[in-house]
């Protein structure tokens, strides 16, 4: 592991680290904030998965999460959104390739050799964090924005017992029902739609649900509202009678101004679940 940087932050440490990933077959970089309490023993861990075009750095510097995580004694990790490197396949469009891993294990060329982001987030990075940092893997929660909100919801519902709570900011809720979402799923996973279902939060909610609390915020002025399809998730929640709070926030868009406005509420929401016996 290479320590890229470490900075004192709200009594704790905001670090950036790089390591060789055997899953994505390239070097991966992530941000990790450890509160002051981590000096005395393992602390609960909150994941924040970022959206399209982002790296580990966007949420780490713009979301304002560290102050609230420090207040609650919670670590927060900011993974990258895709594999990186000169030999990693890319695309000229912003919604495919680098910065657009969609938190899936790609099965199609040219993506399959590196784009194994599901296994990286679900298996490799948690094990790496547990082995190298003072985090409690028995107390995990997950959140994310846009593509990362899609990842947070689908990972939480596909990994029962892993996360105590899940939240999302403007998540992509129903990619199988839009031409835009079907484009990425086809590129990474192929034409067999049966392979897509586990990566659609609305389908997963209807079929599986989540054994814990759910919080989702979406802005009514979100410029990508029609692509996000929050109404599909709302309908699935109602059909399953899932414990969930789904909120439309008047006038907010898709930006980090929106995320930072409601970050305190999301961290407090997760803290309640993480510290529940």
Query: Burial level of 102, CB count in 10 A (0-12/13-18/19+)?
Result: buried
Under DSSP, is residue 56 helix (H, G, I), strand (E, B) or coil? coil
CB 254 within 8 A of CB 170: yes
Query: Which run of H or E residues covers position 140?
Result: strand 135-144
- Rounded to whole angstroms, the Cα distance separating 40 from 130 reads 15
Which residues belong to the active site? 146, 222, 254
- Rounded to whole angstroms, the Cα distance separating 177 from 200 reads 9
- Rounded to whole angstroms, the Cα distance separating 33 from 64 reads 12
């Amino acid at each position: 592991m290479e320590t890229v940087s470490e900075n004192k932050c709200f009594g704790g440490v905001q670090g950036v680290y790089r390591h060789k990933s055997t899953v994505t077959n390239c070097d991966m970089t992530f941000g990790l904030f450890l509160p002051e309490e981590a000096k005395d023993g393992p602390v609960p861990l909150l994941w924040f998965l970022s959206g399209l075009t982002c790296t580990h750095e966007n949420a780490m510097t713009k979301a304002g999460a560290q102050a609230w995580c420090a207040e609650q004694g919670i670590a927060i990790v900011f993974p990258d959104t895709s594999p990186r490197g000169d030999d990693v396949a890319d695309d000229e469009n912003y919604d495919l390739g680098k910065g657009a891993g969609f938190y899936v294990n790609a099965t199609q060329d040219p993506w399959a050799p590196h784009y194994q982001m599901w296994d990286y987030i679900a298996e490799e990075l948690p094990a790496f964090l547990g082995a190298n940092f003072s985090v409690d893997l028995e107390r995990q929660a997950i959140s994310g924005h846009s593509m990362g909100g899609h990842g947070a919801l689908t990972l939480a519902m596909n990994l029962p017992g892993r996360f105590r709570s899940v939240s999302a900011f403007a998540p992509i809720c129903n990619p199988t029902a839009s031409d835009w979402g079907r484009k990425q799923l086809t590129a990474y996973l192929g034409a067999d739609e049966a392979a897509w279902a586990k990566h659609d939060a609305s389908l997963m909610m209807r079929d599986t649900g989540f054994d814990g609390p759910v919080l989702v915020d979406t802005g009514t002025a979100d410029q990508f509202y029609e692509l996000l399809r929050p109404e599909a998730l709302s309908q699935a929640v109602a059909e399953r009678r899932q414990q969930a709070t789904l909120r439309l926030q008047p006038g907010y868009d898709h930006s980090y101004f929106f995320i930072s406005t409601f970050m305190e509420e999301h961290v407090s929401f997760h803290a309640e679940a993480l510290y529940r016996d």
